[in-house]
Amino acid sequence: MTAPTLTEYIAQPPVTGESSFELKPFLDDEIFFSKPETADWQGYVMATGEDILNWGMGASRVGGQTMLVFRTDRADPRLGEDFAGIPMHEALRACFSYPGVEGVVLVNKTRHWKSFLIENFTGILAD
């Protein structure tokens, strides 16, 4: 049996006790976000954690928490024509420097999503 892709993992129902540690196999996977209003590019760009902070990527309130929202599939039509990709490990690290952010939400193109809190990121990024 092969391991699920990030998109497939996000589509799986939540499991009791699930935490950010389930993201460890996907840390090098690219995740995506729509172009922030303060960014100046067209089309697709590869971003860094520093870019997210400089552009002021918009955070969203999800379940009463302030989260950065990323898509798991570059073909997700909600990204639009102007979007960026970033390795997941860089996106998670950027959360530590992003004022008020409590974690990330990962959404696949079939609109399944899971949220992950920043409190667990140190453990999975340590290796």
CATH 3.30.379 is held by the domain 23-125: no
* Model pLDDT for residues 42-89, shown as the tens digit of each residue: 999 999 989 988 888 888 998 899 999 999 999 999 999 999 999 999
Summarised one tens digit per residue, pLDDT across range 23-41 is 999 999 999 999 988 888 8
State the SS3 of the chain. Answer: CCCCCHHHHHHCCCCCCCCHHHHHHHCCCEEEEECCCCCCCCCEEECCHHHHHHHCCCEEEECCEEEEEEECCCCCHHHCCCEEEEEHHHHHHHHCCCCCCCEEEEECCCCCEEEEEHHHHHHHHCC
Domain boundaries, the chain: 23-125
